[in-house]
Structure 1
Amino acid sequence: MLSCEKIKVIKVHTKDIATILNPSSSKQGLLLAAGWSRRFGADKLLQPLADGTPIGLAAARHLRAALSDTLVVVNADNEWARLLVQDGFSVTICPRARDGMGNSLAWGVEQTARASAWIVALADMPFTQPATIRRVADAIDHETALAAPMFQGKRGHPVGFGRAYAEELKQLTGDEGARAILRRHQQHLYGLACEDPGVLADIDAPADLPPSTC
């Protein structure tokens, strides 16, 4: 766990996030990285891929390549948070990360309240290509728009939310994430067909890793 002193170091990177990241109400990349890797048996986000890059850092870099305004939501794990800060990412610690992904997403939206849209990616999905993420961001062309990539008829990540959903996102709790919002407003959802299998490839257990990384 982070000591009080170490939390202050990270807060240098998260102070006034809404102003620093969104001076002109830009589209905001949010990487949810506050899980506890219960099924993996260790911190999966630190597990190296074939090229040596940790899973979580690869996902963060892909999101940043598509969206310069990127914030990573983490739990109070010092090693993971510090790795991100060293790579130049803005990081915010979700105080209720243990309560589920919904809490982490709500926290991230609260910290970037001036954004015009949020593109929400998951840190255990390191294979989604930046071009796919950019397509999702570009599809959020008005405040009620929703967008997600589709691979072989299945909806994947990241998911884009227009500003109209800010209050609903801030109210999220538990493990369901934003699925209920997508169900309620499915008439506004753009499904973007793509040839990127990474939009469906999450890593929950060691068996999900490509053979060359095991």
Structure 2
Amino acid sequence: MNMTLILLAAGDSLRFNGNKLLYEMNGKPMYRCIIEEIDQLPGGLFTRKLIVTQYDEIMDYMKDSGYKIIVNKDSKLGISHSIHLALKELENEDTDFLFAVCDQPYLHSSTIESLVRGFKGSKKGLACLSCEGELGNPALFSSRYRKELMELKGDKGGKRIIRAHMSDVFLLEAADPAELQDIDIRPR
């Protein structure tokens, strides 16, 4: 089965008081942390890679990266709009989807790979990272959940679908809780 990686990088960072994706962490903009981890993954894990963003800086950086850039001009419509834009790009493809966010700078490539391999081996339709019962990103959806993803509204993401189908979920416990941490508030 094909697997498409979809990076979500279009949020407005309202609680951060500035564009958190461009905030410098470890000498680089935050969004590059996950990209560098993905670059360490074995070839062939993903058949396609997409990034959904509204930011020119990210588009410029990603233009020669092998990712298909999807422009989100209506980020105020919430994360569901980014999900819909990515799925519309893939509407004629039989593929599963891994959604990852670009504000999780402590996520490791080995964890992403374990999540994908565990999902494939589990024969389940959904997967996500978890830590002590808390569901987190990245999240995987088999193609049979495309319709439910397209029905999402506003700033509600795929966790709603995962919670509704827990018997069909492969959970990977994160080795380090920091891997699930997304940065919503500017560090002091």
Q: How far apart, in 2, do the equivalents of 1:74 and 1:139 lie?
A: 28
2:155 maps to 175
The SS at the match of 1:28 is strand
1:74 maps to 53
Identity within the alignment, %? 26
The SS at the match of 2:137 is coil
Give the TM-score, by structure 1 length. Answer: 0.76
1:108 maps to 86
Higher Cα radius of gyration: 1
- 1:15-43: CA deviations, max 9, x gaps? xxxxxxxxxx6201111111011111111
The SS at the match of 1:29 is strand
Q: Describe the shift of the 1:32–1:135 C-alpha distance in structure 2 as closer, same or farther (beyond 3 A).
A: same
Deviation at 1:199, TM superposition (A): 3.2
Structure number with greater CO (CA < 8 Å, separation at least 6) is 2
1:98 maps to 76
Say whether residues 1:185 and 2:165 are aligned partners: yes
Q: How far apart, in 1, do the equivalents of 2:139 and 2:83 lie?
A: 12
2:13 maps to 37
Q: Which of the residues 29, 54, 62 maps onto 1:84?
A: 62
Contact conserved, 1:144 with 1:165, CA < 8 A, in 2?
no
The unaligned stretches of length 5 or more in structure 1 are: 1-24, 208-213
Deviation at 1:88, TM superposition (A): 4.6
Q: How far apart, in 1, do the equivalents of 2:94 and 2:74 lie?
A: 22
Give the TM-score, by structure 2 length. Answer: 0.86
Deviation at 1:73, TM superposition (A): 0.6
Q: How far apart, in 2, do the equivalents of 1:145 and 1:201 lie?
A: 24
Deviating above 6 A after TM superposition, structure 1's stretches of 4 or more consecutive aligned residues are none
Contact conserved, 1:29 with 1:63, CA < 8 A, in 2?
no
2:106 maps to 127
Q: Describe the shift of the 1:93–1:179 C-alpha distance in structure 2 as closer, same or farther (beyond 3 A).
A: same
Q: How far apart, in 2, do the equivalents of 1:188 and 1:111 lie?
A: 26
Contact conserved, 2:30 with 2:102, CA < 8 A, in 1?
yes
Say whether residues 1:62 and 2:37 are aligned partners: yes
Q: Describe the shift of the 1:196–1:117 C-alpha distance in structure 2 as closer, same or farther (beyond 3 A).
A: farther
